[in-house]
Amino acid sequence: MLNIILWRFYKNMKFKKLASLILVSSLMLTFTACASNDKDKSSGSKSGGTVVIPMASDPDIINGAFANVKEDSLASNIVYAPLYTYEKGNLVNYLAEKVDFKDSKELTIKLKSNLKWHDGKPITAEDVLFTFNTVLDEKQNSPSRQYLLVGEKPVKVEKIDDLTVKITLPTASESFLYGISKISPIPKHVFEGESNIAKSEKNNNPVGSGAFKFKEWKKGESIVFEKNADYFGGEPKADSIALKIIPNEASQEAALNNGEISLMKTSAEGYEKAKSNSNLQTYTYSEERLNYIVFNQNISNMANKEVRQALSYALNRNEMIESAYGKEGSVPAKSILVPEADFYTEEGVEGYDQDTNKAKDLLDKSGVKIDKLKIGYNTGRFGHKNYALVAQQELKKIGIEAEIVPYESKAFFNILFSNSTECDMYVNGYAWGLEPNPYRGMFETGQYCNQTKYSNAEIDALWEKGFTELNKEKRKEIYKQIQQDISKDAPIYTIDYEQNLMAAQKNLKGIKDAKPSPAILFEDWSKLYVE
């Protein structure tokens, strides 16, 4: 389906080059310049070295059940293993030996034998039971809690034996399997008795289950993980993984060229430079990510639907994309779902193609007078400053002066997930995956990740209906209506679906086997090494 969508873009000459790039990379990872797949396979027995990854800021937390923003997820994925991953409808087991989902209502998970935490303690069903019950505890305020609710009712979790847990749903739901893949078990013997795990000091020295063990965290500088020789998936190839805090792209590019880091996400310009650098290799993959502008409904003007629609018509996503990517690296977006997601559609979805006159008319109709507003962006996110600057220029055409406000990554998310009225609009992005249900976290009343404070009771009901409906065709129609109706309410302005353009050192091996993945960079860090 993705290829059909991209072919439609291909016919648009302005994005012909971009669509060609993504059409190819949607079929396979594309390696160019100095790396050859044959060589990578032939050197499979080699290992060693430290893989150094740049991050814009420290994570807020390293915890498999409480990770929230991108930095949290990346660091947590290195040290914590999931029960399983969910890839295009298929399960890939990690801690789990066997997964059985009976009648879409009863999920039984059996762990592999002889699993161990990084401190040597055994991983058992008690840990899984503790993790799920902790996530369900409203006082713990885990962002993963939504995955354990069906019809707003909590699931029932019970231990069957030392290696097996059973989860019973209050009503059947095919979507439930996906959510469990997003929660990695945490050790009961470490966190039991903690009243606020999200704020626990124990997260600064995490005891995980993954391919790499936590070694050291120098706030504002780096986080180092060393290989777990007892990893259930086989001894990791690299000696260590280091996350190096480098706040901006220019500094990251300098570090890459100096050999200080192993890889980085780059701009179209940087990507072209990397392809001609004999010391580097390049590859691309879909980020399965939507970039967008939030209309902050904590501010009364933004709570007016006609105002949001007017501002949307004033903007120009094509100019934003060209400013950030130079026609490479993303596809114009209309739907709140990414093209790879189940039930994605553009049919009947309002895309708000730029129409300055319509924007002015809607503002007049709203009765709201806006002379000035503020647009906030995260300095640690590639392209977001460009989006804000283009929006600033476009809003001038309808008589609005926009002030651009930069935020360091942590400060940005603290403001975004609060009731702040500092800015009227924020540039942000999300990667909720291939199953549509998790997207409700952004668009359902009262959800933790609902950055816009958007609320529509009819949409809330549709999210729940889609989650519990078992008939595929009926689910398709439900999610089509959700996409259509949310687009008309315009809680966000959709910009683009992001394609990662990556540049890496020539001596970084195992990239394809490590499975490049949205938000977390790699699904299987054990396969990477430095030659």
Domains and CATH numbers, the chain: 34-56+210-279+506-530 (3.40.190.10), 81-204 (3.90.76.10), 291-499 (3.10.105.10)
pLDDT attached to residue 45: 52
Would you state the pLDDT for residue 26? 39
Percent of the chain clearing pLDDT 70 (strictly above): 91
Task: Please give the pLDDT value at position 346.
Answer: 96
* Distance (Å, whole) CA 187 – CA 117: 7
Query: Using 50, 70 and 90 to split pLDDT, how confident is the model at 35?
Result: very low
Mean pLDDT of 75-91: 91
| Distance separating alpha carbons of residues 311 and 426, to the nearest angstrom | 13
Report helix, strand or coil for 493. strand
Structure pTM?
Answer: 0.76
Q: Measured between alpha carbons, how far is 28 from 11 in angstroms, rounded to an integer?
A: 22
pLDDT band of 84, cuts 50, 70, 90? very high
- Least reliable range by pLDDT among 42-46, 295-299, 379-383, 458-462: 42-46
Helices 457-468 and 472-489: crossing angle in degrees, nearest 10, is 160
DSSP string computed for 261-273: SSEEE--HHHHHH
Q: At 152, is the pLDDT very low, low, confident or very high (cuts 50, 70, 90)? A: confident
Please name which of 319, 307, 328, 299 lies closest in space to residue 426, comparing C-alpha atoms.
299
Q: State residue 328's pLDDT score.
A: 63
Ranking 4-18, 74-88, 469-483 by mean pLDDT, the lowest is: 4-18
pLDDT tens, 339-394?
999 999 999 999 999 999 999 999 999 999 999 999 999 998 888 999 999 999 99
Q: Which residue has the tokens 């009343």?
A: 445
Percent of the chain at pLDDT above 90?
77
Is the pLDDT confidence value at 505 over 80?
yes
Work out the pLDDT band at 43, boundaries 50, 70, 90.
Answer: very low
DSSP class of residue 437? Answer: G
pLDDT category, 44, cuts 50, 70, 90? Answer: very low
Output the pLDDT for position 410. Answer: 85
| pLDDT above 60 (res 23) | no
Confidence at residue 498, expressed as pLDDT on a 0 to 100 scale: 87
- pLDDT band at residue 326 under the 50/70/90 scheme: confident
One-letter amino acid identity for 464?
E
Query: Does residue 46 register a pLDDT over 90?
Result: no
Residue 407 pLDDT > 90, yes or no? yes
* Of the listed ranges 63-72, 86-95, 159-168, 462-471, the one predicted with least confidence: 86-95
Mean pLDDT confidence for 244-265: 94
What CA–CA distances, in Å, run from 368 to 140, 303, 355, 393, 401? Answer: 40, 11, 19, 21, 15
Of 16-25, 243-252, 337-346, give the lowest mean pLDDT range: 16-25
SS (H, E, C) 194-243: CCCHHHCHHHHCCCCCCCEEEEEEECCCEEEEEECCCCCCCCCCCCEEEE
Closest among 520, 454, 446, 391 to 141, alpha carbons compared: 446
* Most trustworthy range by pLDDT among 14-28, 124-138, 406-420: 124-138
Q: In terms of pLDDT, which residue wins out, 210 or 88?
A: 210
Answer whether 478's CB lies under 8 Å from 462's CB.
yes
32 vs 529, residue with greater confidence: 529
Element (H, E) at 385: helix 384-396
Q: Is the pLDDT reported for residue 22 higher than 70? A: no
Whole-angstrom CA distances from 46 to 121, 238, 320, 480 are 30, 9, 43, 49
How much is the pLDDT for 38?
A: 36
* Count of CB atoms situated within 10 Å of the CB of 401: 11
Per residue in 184-201, is it b (16+ CB within 10 Å) or e — as a string?
bbbbbebbeeeeebbeee
> What average pLDDT does the chain have?
90
Highest-confidence segment of 21-25, 79-83, 324-328: 79-83
Q: Which residue has the higher pLDDT, 397 or 432?
A: 397
- The band of 333, judged by pLDDT with boundaries at 50, 70 and 90, is very high
Dump pLDDT digits (tens) for 104-144: 999 999 999 999 999 999 999 999 999 999 999 999 999 99
Q: What is the mean pLDDT of residues 191-218?
A: 98
Q: In angstroms, rounded to a whole number, what is the distance separating the alpha carbons of residues 299 and 372?
A: 13
Read off the pLDDT band of 47 (50, 70, 90).
confident
Nearest Cα to Cα of residue 388 among 297, 320, 311, 290:
320
Report which DSSP code applies to 95. S
The whole-number average pLDDT for the span 202-226 is: 98
Bridge-based pairing state of the strands 50-55 and 240-245: parallel
pLDDT for residue 327 is more than 70: no
